[in-house]
Amino acid sequence: ASKILLLHVKENLPEIPTSVAFSPDSRTAIVGFSNGLLKRFPLPATLAPPAEQQRVAKTDSTVSAPPKEIPQAIQIKESEPNNQPAQATVLKAPSVIASGVIEANESNKTDVDLYRFESKAGAEWLIETNAARKKSKLDSKIEVLDAQGNQIPRVLLEAVRDSYFTFRGKDSDILNDFRIQNWQEMELNEYLYANGEVVKLWLYPRGPDSGFNVYPGSGSKRYTYFGTSPITHALHEPCYIVEPHPVGTELPPNGLPVFTVYYENNDDGRRELGDDSRLIFKAPADGVYYVRVSDVRGFQGKDFHYELTVRPRKQDFKVTLHGANPKVNAGSGKEFEVVAQRLDGFEGPIQVNISGVPPGFHVTSPIIIQSGHDRAYGVVSADPVPQSEVPLIASRPDDARYNPIQVTATASIDGVQQTHAVNSLGTIQLLEKPRLIIRMVPMNTDKYSVAGDNLEQIPEKPVELTIHPGETIAAKVLLLRNGYQGVVGFGREYAGRNLPHGVFVDNIGLNGLLLLDDQNERTFYLTAAKWVPETTRLFHLQAEQEGNQTSIPVLLHVKRKDKLAVRSN
């Protein structure tokens, strides 16, 4: 089992329990006692879907179909007074952009604006404001209320481990060096709750003088989850690892708090809207709902204008390729990046395919942007060529040999396969042999038998490594210095480029993966967390010197160990 889930706390039992068995549908637990008595205990209906649903889920096939369209938005203006549900401005169309101002007619009252809309149970809505982006003074907050004007619970967050911030506090942006007490008891992808904000753990600390990185793992601002907003945190402020549960779930007491998160937002958790608000609302029942817009500070005035968008949710994505028109040295490679913009809360995996690469060049394809992640990396590499033939240029648009390099991104959304075009990789220029060539090989590989005659050659098939979840393996990085004699560094926590999430370059210390000026070979280590699923993925190393030369990608297989015991003879 990947985790232990506390389902019931039973007291005053008739005897000592000696065994527990679960029904095939995971709906009932049967407990046996030392006196021979058997008792049945019901389990939560959400623990596992019925067997019929499981079979259906396995046999469903993905169907290609055009995505559903969002109705064109209707522009309206708020109608004051609309501070109370009975006075709320009615949103009659399914997609509306409402213009309003947070300004009270009476100076001793604080203005809020309410908007009324109707929804079917299970319908999902995207609600967001546009204020700060339009130079408004409004620091917006949005809430969804029920027909009686009460806040609507979104999720229950059960604390399962308690902790607190050590070393220093955190501002509302920083995403690295989250130093928290008892971090050894925590795991990647767990949710961390602190004073109303929820973040998600992305990368382990790299020793005692570092902390967790949280999602998205790169950039300058962290993401938040369940509609919570980023805030500052003080040194020694309490925080908790939490597990989400549906509203109404009866949670057995474990001595730690349970937090109720409501449908409300101050600042967009994806950090795309600045100080503006964004919320995805799923209607719990048929009926009337209200959106309440206010200033989170309680301020108001004629300059506190805004636009409120309420429309059906439409999950989608856009992918952008960075590093187009690369200049690639013969026998080496250059990195490019594919970055996904996830729309309306889409979190699924995205596959990027690249085709039409000119002869003599090789490109990582397909590239998978993992579920919940925003980016992945690939390499454009070039075959080595005789010195007399460089510099060369790959075929260009005015060349009869030219074939445009096609880049597409595909993902499944609500069971529908959707493919979008991505900007092209552009024109590849071939340069002379670099002053530094990098290769990765298994530990048992001799430096001069890497690929044919010498290290310069690119193998016909990629080098392969295999790792088991919960295991650390060793490999070697080799350098061929062709005039460069300095230090070669491959980075610190991001040394392994395009590794599956949960697999990382380990034991690198504060200096990262580094080869000194007199080193041409170094052993490095890859560690896979226990929960990493089986996968196969190309990864590479990128030097910080000589124009960021990269290694030729290596194929990493993550495979679970055979659970069958082998009997020794």
**Bridge partners of residue 538, in order along the sequence:** 555
For residue 506, which of 530, 523, 489 has the smallest C-alpha distance?
523
Q: C-alpha 229: how far from its chain's center? A: 17
The pTM score is 0.85
For residue 91, which of 375, 308, 316, 382 has the smallest C-alpha distance?
308
d(CA 505, CA 543): 15
Cβ atoms of 291 and 310 closer than 8 Å: yes
pLDDT of amino acid 463: 92
From residue 160, how far is each of 8, 257, 258, 411, 420 by CA, in Å? 15, 9, 9, 34, 41
Residue written as tokens 């952009």? 97
pLDDT of amino acid 9: 65
pLDDT of amino acid 62: 38
Radius of gyration of the chain (CA): 28
Instruction: Return per-residue pLDDT of the chain as tens, 569 residues.
Output: 445 666 666 666 777 888 787 776 677 777 877 776 777 777 776 555 443 333 332 333 333 444 567 778 899 999 999 999 999 999 998 999 999 999 998 777 899 999 999 999 999 999 999 999 999 999 999 999 999 999 999 999 999 999 999 999 999 999 999 999 999 999 999 999 999 999 999 999 987 789 999 999 999 999 999 999 999 999 999 999 999 999 999 999 999 999 999 999 999 999 999 999 999 999 999 999 999 999 999 999 999 999 999 999 999 999 999 999 999 999 999 999 999 999 999 999 999 999 999 988 999 999 999 999 999 999 999 998 755 454 555 555 566 455 679 999 999 999 999 999 999 999 999 999 999 999 999 998 765 555 434 667 777 889 999 999 999 999 999 999 989 999 999 999 899 999 999 999 998 877 899 999 989 999 999 999 999 999 999 999 999 999 999 999 999 999 998 743 444 44
pLDDT of amino acid 334: 98
Cβ atoms of 392 and 385 closer than 8 Å: yes
Domains, the chain, ordered by start: 1-52 (no CATH), 74-152+265-312 (2.60.120.380), 153-262 (no CATH), 317-433 (2.60.40.10), 435-561 (2.60.40.10)
184-192 contact pairs (CB < 8 A, 24+): 185/161, 185/241, 186/161, 186/212, 186/241, 187/529, 187/531, 188/501, 188/502, 188/529, 188/531, 189/531, 190/241, 191/157, 191/225, 191/241, 191/242, 191/243, 191/244, 192/239, 192/240, 192/241, 192/242
Q: Residue 257 contacts by C-beta under 8 Å, 6 or more apart in sequence?
A: 159, 240
Phi then psi dihedrals of residue 377, to 5 deg? -130, 150
